[in-house]
Amino acid sequence: QVQLVESGGGLVQAGDSLRLSCAASGRTFSQYAMGWFRQAPGKERDFVAAISSISISTVYADSVKGRFTISRDNAKNTVYLQMNSLKPEDTAVYYCAAGDRVQVVATSGARFWGKGTQVTVSS
């Protein structure tokens, strides 16, 4: 079992950058693939990015490829999402998640979820 807490969200202008952090508790953190998802008002929760347990593999949604970077530091039990060149359509609540294989997280969701952090991008 793992507990997840997101931070780093805020209000920015189009073209700005933000870095989200996800702090995890539990001894089994390094066993999980990790991911970021987002949910805009009135829309479904969508996959953003995922990373394997020892950072060998990463997967990105087409909408963020080349702009966002996912990384992790297992010694600190922390996952990051660096977001550059933000667009108004990136506005959403961003959720950190822990799951099985990285491709399973990307296509089927995760087993454990944080409570989310708000990102708002003005035009």
Q: What is the pLDDT of residue 27?
A: 81
Q: What would the pLDDT profile of 40-71 be if each residue is shown by its tens digit?
A: 999 999 999 999 999 999 999 999 999 999 99
Q: Are 68 and 48 in contact (CB under 8 A)?
A: yes
Q: Per mean pLDDT, which range of 17-21, 81-85, 108-112 is the poorest?
A: 108-112
Angle at 30 between CA 27 and CA 31, to 5 degrees: 95
Mean pLDDT, residues 91-111 taken together: 94
